[in-house]
Chains A and B, each alone.
Chain A
Amino acid sequence: MSSSQPKIQIENLVKIYGKNPEHALKLFREGGNRDEILQATGNVLGVADVTLSIGEGELFVIMGLSGSGKSTLVRCLNRLIEPTSGHVYIDDEDVAKVDLKRLREVRRTKLSMVFQRFGLFPHKSVLENTEYGLKMRGIDPEERRQKALETLAIVGLHQWANYAPSALSGGMQQRVGLARALATDAPILLMDEAFSALDPLIRRGMQDELMRLQTELHRTIVFISHDIQEALKIGDRVAIMKDGYLVQVGTPEEIITNPVDDYIAAFTQDVNRAQVLKTGSIVRQTMPFILGQGSARAALQDMQTHDHRRMHVVDRQGQPVGVLMRKDLESAVDSGVEDVEAVMRRDFPTVEASTSLEEIFHLAQTGAPIAVVNRKGKFKGVVEQSDILASIGRLSRNEEADSAAPVDRIAV
């Protein structure tokens, strides 16, 4: 989902709260940790030398316990909080250094934000809230009204346009918050614990909705969360913070299969691995039989040499079209049938590599081999029931984590 093009580049970002940050910054540079700085200067280290790059179109989650500096970090991106030192490049422009006028321009066109307690304007209607960003940009009333109504329709609230936000439930209010942020067409969406104030059920709905919207809108989203389940569910990549420091950055699978320290291992302990692990990570790469490139006899020989019980068949585009069972093939060859298409079975399950193990569990229970395809539908390999059980079972025992393939720990 993410492309390699970086949209946001954070370099050596430091935020120190307090009266005399220069002195505290010096202490920090000399290697002082958070407690030492607090003791010596009374200043609080909010964000400690964070370097991070977020790709265009990526849904990037920043995770951490309360007080770990998540809100501070995300507010440094649009400078609701002034960084003490460091750079924030957005499209190669250092936002940490631009003047106020340019900063407002950046806020109007490039970044929009969704807040934990919604931050709606209580004296404005849902529609007026939604069009606020466009109003700040000086868009004329008719046009911005139109745009706001369209955006409200996207989040399913157009019938509520003329109501006060207080007439809406929490979940609906946050949809307004989301619509307000989407309406400006800013390519970057900052969401500070946007769903934390919502009931679990509503919250799950909003997560699904955000993921659905993201497949259509392809914004670059920086999503703050203190909930590991949420982070692993929605994030393309997840960064974990502790005491202002960045501890680990990686895909959800990397985080749970290869936690860099006990802190992160403890975090991920209770996670339902089947929900996080993707089918693609356990796929067995097998050679399929390509349609039109040989007879049934050739296919049988192929299976016999590799001692396979079955083999998938793909068309010339590489899309799986059938599966050959060795038994079927043997009797077909015995009775002189040469056409592979006449022998292969067409009812077999196919899943995308990005599907979670939990979702394919029920397919595996039928015992049929599952064909795994990439997003374009091309055959990648097969997954069997035993693979799924093995990976879930193995990974829920932590000692196995160390022997897993090494992963780039702090991706920069």
Chain B
Amino acid sequence: MDTAIPDFFNWLFLNQSTEIIPLGDWISTIVDWVVTNFRWFFQLVRVPISQALNGIEAFLQAVPPLVFLGALGLFAWQFASRGLAIFSVLAMIFVGLIGAWPETMTTLSLVITAVVLCALVGLPLGIAAARSDRVEASIRPVLDAMQTLPAFVYLVPVVMLFGTGKVPGVIVTFIFAVPPLIRLTNIGIRQVSEETIEAAQSFGSTPRQMLWEIQMPLAMPTILAGVNQSIMLALSMVVIASLIAVEGLGQMVNRGIGRLDVGLAAVGGLGIVIMAIVLDRLTQAIGKPPKDGLSWQDRGPVGAIRTTLGKRRRVPTATP
């Protein structure tokens, strides 16, 4: 009598030739069914992504490295600092010197495309989640799953639906990279202080005016932190994406491992790390309000030009 229940569970869990709930079979069946019936849809989704990706990549490959370096330096100086500009340019020169320039451009185009896709999908979802507790509650487990599910698990169905190559690479990168953007957009909007919201409401703002005049600008530093996180996660997917024939730095690592060529793998890996550092510092600096309180026109190269032209406003010194 007192062994009946343990025996039952032993029999239930250990002595069965087939599972009681054949979850694996079900999922296979569902994926197969989606693949046979809806492949056309996913092939259609391919088109805009692949066009964007190819366009960006073609552009980045066509730009002479010197021009790229110059643009990067000016951009970093304007929106971050002169120090970061120098650092970024030196880092990218190093990438070129170790022979990883073309691969870096390919990977950069993949990261840009994936992050743009993240923004297009993630911002509206984040806004929706911030506006409704119900949406937030229903999105949250999905985001948890997207971040914790091992990428290899969804790699196969994605390949079945999209085939191999760059586009499924963008898709898996997107799946992994979009959750923090949604989360941080949601948090950023919800963090706007109650009194600020009340003040805007008391002047008769519509929900749309509230969003664009108050919530989005005030959430922007948090949202940019989300973009930063997305970029970092996208870069960390580069090697996995190379398993489904995505070219670039990830492929260098992948090939290096396959041929036991430690040098090649290290070059690819170093390229990824350097890109990550540069992109991280840049996006972080853009998200932070400048310490000196100058407007963008008075800073960086634009400020330097305006100073030489004598148009620069005096630095505000008076404090009340």
Contacts and interface: CB of A to CB of B under 8 A. Distances in A.
Interface of A: 75, 78, 80, 103-108, 111-113, 115-123, 132-133, 135-137, 160, 163-164, 167-169, 172, 180, 184, 190
Contact of A121 (B199, B209, B320): B199
B320 A172 contact: yes
Contacts of B316: 163, 167
Residue picked from B199, B206, B209, B319, most chain A C-beta under 10 Å: B199
Contacts of A107: 201-204
Given A122-B218, A123-B217, A167-B319, A108 B204 contact: yes
Given A122-B218, A123-B217, A172-B320, A113 B206 contact: no
Residue picked from A103, A116, A132, A137, most chain B C-beta under 10 Å: A132
Contacts of A108: 203-204
Contacts of A164: 293
B196 interface: yes
Contacts of A117: 195
Residue picked from A104, A105, A118, A137, most chain B C-beta under 10 Å: A104
Nearest to A101: B206
Contacts of A160: 320
A113 B205 CA distance: 13
B198 interface: yes
A168 B320 contact: yes
B200 interface: yes
B296 to A, nearest CB: 14
Contacts of A103: 204
A169 B320 CA distance: 6
Contact of A136 (B196, B198, B203, B320): B203
A80 B320 contact: no
A1 B225 CA distance: 54
A113 B200 contact: no
8 contacts: A80-B202, A111-B202, A115-B198, A120-B196, A120-B199, A132-B203, A169-B320, A172-B320
B214 interface: yes
A249 B199 CA distance: 28
A136 B195 contact: no
Contacts of A190: 202
Interface range on chain B (Cβ under 8 Å from partner): 20 to 34
Nearest to A113: B202
B202 to A, nearest CB: 4
Q: Please report whether the interface of chain B is mostly helix, strand, loop or mixed according to DSSP.
A: helix
Contact of A119 (B199, B204, B217): B199
Nearest to A128: B213
Interface in B36-62: none
When A and B form their complex, which 4 residue pairs have the shortest distance between CB atoms, in order from nearest? A119-B199, A108-B204, A107-B204, A113-B202
Contacts of B203: 107-108, 112, 132-133, 136, 180, 184
Contact of B199 (A75, A106, A113): A113
Given A167-B320, A168-B320, A119 B206 contact: no
B201 A80 contact: yes
Contacts of A105: 204
A106 B202 CA distance: 10
Nearest to A160: B320
A119 B319 CA distance: 21
B39 to A, nearest CB: 46
B195 A115 contact: yes
A136 B209 contact: yes
Interface in B193-244: 195-196, 198-206, 209, 213-214, 217-218
A164 B292 CA distance: 13
A115 B199 contact: yes
Given A80-B201, A160-B320, 16 more contacts: A75-B198, A80-B198, A80-B202, A104-B205, A106-B204, A107-B204, A108-B203, A112-B202, A113-B199, A115-B195, A118-B195, A119-B199, A120-B196, A122-B196, A132-B203, A136-B204
Contact of A104 (B206, B214, B218, B320): B206
B107 to A, nearest CB: 35
Interface in B304-320: 316, 319-320
Contacts of A104: 204-206
Contacts of B200: 121, 132
Contacts of B214: 121
Contacts of A135: 213
Nearest to B313: A162
Contacts of B293: 164, 167
B319 to A, nearest CB: 7
A106 B203 CA distance: 9
B219 to A, nearest CB: 10
Contacts of B199: 113, 115, 119-121
A113 B213 CA distance: 18
Nearest to A117: B195
A179 to B, nearest CB: 13
A121 B319 CA distance: 19
Interface string B246-290: 000000000000000000000000000000000000000000000
A184 B213 CA distance: 18
A119 B209 contact: no
Contacts of B218: 121-123
Contacts of B213: 121, 132, 135
Contacts of A80: 198, 201-202
Nearest to A80: B198
A79 to B, nearest CB: 9
Nearest to B214: A121
A111 B198 CA distance: 13
Nearest to B206: A104
A197 to B, nearest CB: 11
A103 B316 CA distance: 41
